[in-house]
């Protein structure tokens, strides 16, 4: 809507021009008709005016003088001049003073409509650019620690924001999280029920940040009431968490207010139920809660349980730990750090058994608190991921038992012909799976392990029984072919059996 004031000392022309303007469409509203510049100036502080359409030649104060005085008080107002004289000097001076156009009486309706349309487009563009600039200034001060921003950026932002009525007076910040994510325009529609100035900033996925003005006649619970009023207008089935800051004043307090709102929304994120709110002053964590570190219980209780592979105890510790988290409600960064530590402990045990990667799995990466609508959903996902990791560790333990069984059998039957099928039958696995499992667990093939056992036994025999022939030693460790025994022994040790015996005698 473009608000227009008409100034002309002739009543017929004044009222006729006002009628013509309103006939140009609903986008234009005449907010006042004035017989002189003095009358307009007397009402200027009371009226919201976008455009003044004024006559040039009027008694006491002409149109150009009026424009000059208005520009001193409200430089954003635009002007159009109508005159019965085609006076070029007047027109040139008017253009120099920033007048949008110069129309001759009688005013042509088409020309007037074109003028109003141009001014409307220019105003809308200016308003859009101003809104974008204001939003960017707000984002800058919300997101950043002022101590880390260049001084000129802070000064520019606070100067421009200080001119807005929202940040001249008191305000509060609300952080609103929804599941599913709703368009910013939809959330903004629910804010119309507030009957106060506000500004909505699209923030992160599923979250918006709202600045709400707090007036002189508001009270302590106003911010909480605003949050509850907004909550009631969300559609059924939409999960909502609203965190509210305390009351602040001045653009330099934006960051502090935002951090309070963000801490509050994280606090009520732990609540059960589809909707919850929290006000910063009533949701501050106690000193004990602030000092609680989610990794402490894990180091004290979970690590020992994992080291002895007590999976029942490990699961119970994790369950107890989750209960502590719900009670202490750590902020999301601390919660994420604790979850990372949980998976690190499990992975350490897996690495001990050559099964860990030292890296987070894709499932663990997705366990960011901000990606979940509430604590119950996050807890369920965390439990699932932790139990999967414990299951993998448990399987590795069982697989290690298989490998140990095969190793023990080889150590007791190395003299015999050891076929892969025979070993696989002992542990009830297929030969191919056993080969893969053994290589994964030990880093060597079954054949290489059999050779290492036989050669170690051969070295021991060569040292303890110098009277035995080397071929007899070979037969005792499973090699009936003396030439093959010599070849394998030298490949493993770097010496022939005879050379080895001579060296150990020295």
What pLDDT, on a 0 to 100 scale, did the predictor assign at position 51? 94
| 130 pLDDT above the threshold of 80 | no
| 287 pLDDT above the threshold of 50 | no
What pLDDT, on a 0 to 100 scale, did the predictor assign at position 291? 55
List, for residues 49-86, the tens digit of each pLDDT value. Answer: 999 999 888 888 988 899 999 999 998 899 988 877 66
Report the distance separating Cα 327 and Cα 313, nearest Å: 21
Q: What percent of the chain has pLDDT over 70?
A: 92
| 116 pLDDT above the threshold of 50 | yes
What pLDDT, on a 0 to 100 scale, did the predictor assign at position 378? 95
- To the question of pTM greater than 0.75 for the whole model, the response is no
194-208, 301-315, 353-367: least confidently modelled range: 353-367
Would you say 263 and 243 are in contact if contact means Cβ atoms under 8 Å apart? yes
CATH number of the 403-505 domain = 1.10.10.60
What pLDDT, on a 0 to 100 scale, did the predictor assign at position 102? 78
Neighbouring CB atoms inside 10 A of 25's CB total 12
The most confident of the ranges 271-285, 313-327, 398-412 is 313-327
What pLDDT, on a 0 to 100 scale, did the predictor assign at position 133? 84
User: Hey, is 208 helix, strand or coil?
Assistant: strand
Q: Given pLDDT bands bounded at 50, 70 and 90, which one contains residue 506?
A: low
Would you say 459 and 503 are in contact if contact means Cβ atoms under 8 Å apart? no
What pLDDT, on a 0 to 100 scale, did the predictor assign at position 204? 87
Give mean pLDDT, residues 361-365: 64
Look at 397 and 232; give whichever has higher pLDDT.
Answer: 232
404-to-211, 400, 413, 419 alpha-carbon distances in Å? 65, 6, 14, 17
Report the distance separating Cα 315 and Cα 399, nearest Å: 21
What pLDDT, on a 0 to 100 scale, did the predictor assign at position 342? 92
Q: What percent of the chain has pLDDT over 90?
A: 56
What pLDDT, on a 0 to 100 scale, did the predictor assign at position 361? 61
Fold exhibited by the domain 162-284? Alpha-Beta Plaits (3.30.70)
Q: Given pLDDT bands bounded at 50, 70 and 90, which one contains residue 236?
A: very high
Give mean pLDDT, residues 137-162: 89
CATH 3.20.20.140 fits 2-126, yes or no: no
Would you say 211 and 177 are in contact if contact means Cβ atoms under 8 Å apart? no
Show Cβ contacts of residue 308 under 8 Å, excluding neighbours closer than 6 positions: none
What pLDDT, on a 0 to 100 scale, did the predictor assign at position 363? 63
What pLDDT, on a 0 to 100 scale, did the predictor assign at position 383? 93
The per-residue pLDDT of the chain, averaged, comes to: 88
List, for residues 417-430, the tens digit of each pLDDT value. Answer: 999 999 999 888 89
In the chain, what are the domain boundaries? 2-126, 162-284, 289-394, 403-505
Contacts 24+ apart (CB under 8 A), 308-314: 309/349, 309/393, 309/394, 309/397, 311/390, 311/393, 311/394, 314/390
| 497 pLDDT above the threshold of 90 | yes
| 403 pLDDT above the threshold of 90 | no
What pLDDT, on a 0 to 100 scale, did the predictor assign at position 355? 52
List, for residues 181-196, the tens digit of each pLDDT value. Answer: 999 999 999 998 898 9
What pLDDT, on a 0 to 100 scale, did the predictor assign at position 218? 92
| 413 pLDDT above the threshold of 90 | yes
């Amino acid at each position: 809507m473009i608000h227009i004031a008409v100034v002309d000392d002739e009543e017929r022309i004044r009222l006729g021009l006002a009628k013509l303007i309103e006939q140009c469409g609903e986008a234009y509203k005449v907010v006042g008709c004035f017989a002189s510049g003095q009358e307009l100036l007397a009402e200027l502080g009371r009226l919201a005016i976008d455009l003044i359409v004024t006559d040039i030649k009027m008694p006491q104060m002409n149109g150009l003088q009026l424009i000059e005085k208005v520009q001193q008080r409200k430089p954003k107002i635009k002007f159009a001049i109508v005159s019965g004289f085609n006076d070029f000097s007047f027109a040139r001076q008017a253009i120099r003073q920033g007048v949008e156009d110069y129309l001759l009486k009688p005013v042509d309706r088409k020309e007037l409509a074109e003028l109003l349309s141009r001014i409307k487009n220019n105003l809308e563009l200016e308003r859009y650019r101003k809104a974008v600039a204001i939003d960017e200034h707000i984002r800058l001060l919300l997101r950043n620690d002022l101590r880390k921003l260049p001084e000129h950026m802070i000064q520019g932002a606070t100067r421009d924001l200080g001119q807005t009525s929202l940040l001249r007076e008191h305000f509060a910040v609300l952080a609103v999280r929804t599941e599913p994510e709703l368009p910013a325009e939809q959330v903004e529609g629910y804010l119309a029920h507030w009957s106060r100035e506000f500004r909505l900033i699209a923030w992160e996925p599923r979250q918006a940040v709202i600045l709400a003005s707090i007036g002189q006649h508001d009270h302590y619970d106003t911010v909480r009431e605003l949050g509850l009023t907004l909550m009631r207008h969300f559609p059924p089935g939409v999960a909502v968490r609203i965190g509210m800051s305390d009351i602040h004043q001045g653009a330099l307090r934006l960051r502090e207010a935002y951090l309070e709102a963000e801490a509050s929304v994280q606090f009520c994120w732990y609540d059960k139920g589809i909707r919850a709110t929290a006000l910063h002053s009533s949701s501050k964590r106690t000193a004990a809660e602030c000092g609680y570190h989610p990794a402490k219980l894990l180091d004290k209780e979970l690590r020992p349980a994992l080291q002895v592979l007590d999976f029942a105890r490990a699961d119970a510790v994790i369950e107890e730990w989750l209960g502590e988290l719900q009670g202490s409600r750590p902020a999301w960064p601390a919660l994420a750090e604790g979850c990372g530590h949980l998976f690190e402990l499990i992975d350490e045990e897996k690495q001990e058994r050559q099964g860990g990667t030292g890296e987070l799995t894709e499932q663990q990466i997705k366990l960011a608190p901000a990606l979940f609508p509430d604590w119950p959903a996050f807890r369920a996902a965390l439990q699932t991921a932790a139990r999967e990791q414990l299951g993998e560790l448990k399987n590795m333990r069982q697989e290690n038992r298989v490998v140990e069984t095969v190793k023990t059998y080889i150590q007791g039957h190395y003299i015999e012909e050891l076929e892969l099928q025979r070993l696989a039958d002992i542990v009830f696995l297929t030969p191919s799976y056993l080969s893969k499992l053994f290589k994964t667990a030990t880093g060597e093939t079954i054949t290489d392990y059999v050779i290492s056992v036989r050669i170690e036994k051969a070295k021991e025999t060569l040292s303890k029984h110098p009277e035995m022939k080397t071929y007899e030693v070979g037969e005792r460790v499973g090699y009936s072919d003396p030439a093959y025994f010599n070849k394998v022994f030298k490949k493993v040790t770097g010496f022939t059996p005879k050379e080895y015996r001579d060296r150990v005698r020295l």
